[in-house]
Amino acid sequence: MKVLVTGGAGFIGSHLVDRLVQEGHDVVVVDNLSTGKRKNVNRAATFYKADIQSSRLERVFRNERPSVIMHLAAQMNVRRSVDDPMFDASVNILGTLNVIEQAARHGARKVVFASSGGAIYGEQDIFPAPESHPTRPLSPYGISKLSGEHYLSYYQRASGIQAVSLRFANVYGPRQDPEGEAGVVAIFIQKMLTGEQPVINGNGRQTRDFVFVEDVVEANLLVMGQGIEGVFNVGTSSETTVNELFAILKELTKSDCKEVHGPAKKGEQLRSTIDATKLRQQLGWEPKVGLSDGLRKTVEYFSGRLR
């Protein structure tokens, strides 16, 4: 089938495009290259340099007529959303609304939306959090992702388009940008390998649910199927403190850096882990890459890139 991937030059999106091409799909990529990289885009995919907020998106849909939209393009930085909520909303709310509107207008069958399990639930009452957990986002980023889910649900009711929202935990892996997309794993590895000093925000006892990018791609492929709709968590149900992550990466990179702490950041949760039981029960998804193996693969990627 023809699949359009927004953000397909980015970290998760480019991995997803590679798998879609491998599976024999006709893939179209839309990316404005603000954080994504042209070299990440599979050569077998049709590429459009376009912003999801722009009127040009309508022409892409009119020309390509995709049947499935995998919407991953986003402003992904929680801290930037706190500093500039207007920019975050323009990309993550208005941009998402433009994507869904074009999908509905041009006959797409399904939209799969990359949401956030890490940011939507806020400070949790239950660990790990199921999809039924109250949504109390602490940052504009979490608010904008939740808004995207609500708009997609509206279009599902109004136009009949099939809708899936995947609430990702903290995704990490090769191609993650230590600058543009601000993942703590990529930031720590880059600094450790180049001899810089990583700084842990706050006391480092805040926890995250780290899920490897290949497992996230597999979840995206599973929900593309006919008739599958709803909201699904994509995580490991495990908590890892930032201090624990630092120690593992220090060993893997053979770094001699010290454990240095800085001020805590606004809008960051203290504990975050999500329950993917629904995805496992309905579609048989399981995270296959453990944290140690995933971090080792990621360190190998960054080491190779620096060489």
Radius of gyration of the chain from its Cα atoms, rounded to whole angstroms: 18
Q: Has 151 been annotated as catalytic?
A: no
Which one of the listed residues 141, 151, 155, 301 is annotated catalytic?
Answer: 141
Q: In whole angstroms, what is the distance from residue 198 CA to residue 260 CA? A: 7
Query: In 3D, which of 71, 24, 60 has the Cα closest to residue 223?
Result: 71
46: Cβ contacts below 8 Å, ≥ 6 apart? 27, 28, 29, 64
Angle at the Cα of 91 (from 88 to 95), degrees rounded to 5? 150
Residues 6 or more apart whose Cβ sits within 8 Å of residue 66: 2, 3, 4, 28, 103, 106, 108
Q: Nearest CA to 306 among 165, 171, 191?
A: 191
Tell me the residue ranges of DSSP E strands in 11-161: 26-31, 46-49, 68-71, 110-116
Which residues are tagged catalytic? 141
